Amino acid sequence: MSIKMRSNESLVLSTAWREHFEANRNPTEDLPWDDPYRLTPSERRAVERSVQQFQLGEGAQGRRLLARGQAYARATGDIVFPEALTLFIREEQRHSGQLLRFMLLQGIPAVGKHWVDSVFRWVRVLAGLELELRVLVTAEVIAVPYYRALGRATRSALLRSLSDRILEDEAWHLQFQASMLSRLEAQRSRFLRRLIWQAHRWFLAGTCCVVWIEHRSVFTAAGRSFRGLLRDALSEFAGLERAAGLHGAEARQIGLTKRFLPSGAASPERRASQ
Ligand SMILES: [Fe+2]
Ligand SMILES: [Fe+2]
């Protein structure tokens, strides 16, 4: 495969992702914002600090990520990628805004800093585009069991709907990341790819321990255990690895990428191939 073909394929994929994020920019606001339910004191204790931290993390500006995305665009000729990345970052910021709105309704103040968030940002400062995406995707993978638990940690219908809505977006985000990682590692040998994915898996397992320490009140309120968190995160990660490894025509052929998609939705990459 020539460089030019790879560049064209990358451009087609990024264009499809830009279209997806644009179409999802102003989703129908069907969340029950007027739900009068107020968290009980024990529910509030279970979710308050945790939601504050996720609201902070989802609201990142992503300036450095974007600068790295622009460097990637210059190197590969995929000039649409930074636009797709910008829209992706805005979608994360929408999650932050929605969590903030929920917090304000419940009288929960926002926080400006948290050590886990600071450590994540610091690690990403040291990294190149791929490592930064891998750190980011670790948070995306863990977001799946987290929002599943958050939606079930209280009797708030609003928090349940909001968590389900964010989960739908996160399913697409994992697919977007799989597409990006597969492009970045396309030139590597199978052995090296396996080695990197294995190291990433250990990083994920370590991060699950930190997440459990910081957010266990949410998981236990939802009846989830650490083993359940780890099992769910590793299962999402295995799907991500398969999707990244089998991206392109082969993945489309066997429909594997559908695993990450909300039911009935067509993958942007499927649309791009049509
Ligand atoms: Fe998010
Ligand atoms: Fe996300």
The string of pLDDT tens digits covering residues 178-235 is: 888 888 887 788 888 889 999 999 999 999 999 999 999 999 999 999 999 999 999 9
Distance 122 CA to ligand 2 centre (A): 19
More confident residue, 124 or 196: 196
Question: What's the chain's average pLDDT?
Answer: 84
Residues 6+ apart with CB under 8 A from 179: 13, 17, 244, 247, 269
Distance 62 CA to ligand 1 centre (A): 13
Distance 1 CA to ligand 2 centre (A): 31
Distance 147 CA to ligand 1 centre (A): 10
Distance 167 CA to ligand 2 centre (A): 9
Nearest ligand atom owner, CA of 137: 2
Among 118-132, 136-150, 196-210, 256-270, which is the least confidently predicted range?
256-270
Residue length, the chain?
A: 274
Distance 145 CA to ligand 1 centre (A): 13
More confident residue, 36 or 274: 36
What confidence category does residue 266 fall into, taking pLDDT thresholds of 50, 70 and 90? low
Q: What per-residue confidence (pLDDT) applies to 272?
A: 53
Provide mean pLDDT across the span 44-50. 97
Nearest ligand atom owner, CA of 139: 2
Residues 6+ apart with CB under 8 A from 115: none
Nearest ligand atom owner, CA of 171: 2
DSSP state of 248: T
Distance 143 CA to ligand 1 centre (A): 7
Assess whether pLDDT exceeds 50 at residue 253: no
How are the residues of the chain apportioned to helix, strand and coil, as percentages rounded to the nearest 5? 75, 0, 25
Q: What per-residue confidence (pLDDT) applies to 131?
A: 85
pTM value is 0.86
Q: What per-residue confidence (pLDDT) applies to 104?
A: 96
Q: What per-residue confidence (pLDDT) applies to 10?
A: 78
Nearest ligand atom owner, CA of 173: 2
Tokens representing 268 are 């942007």
Distance 87 CA to ligand 2 centre (A): 12
Among 12-16, 127-131, 227-231, which is the least confidently predicted range?
127-131
- C-alpha span between 215 and 30 (Å, rounded): 28
More confident residue, 142 or 250: 142
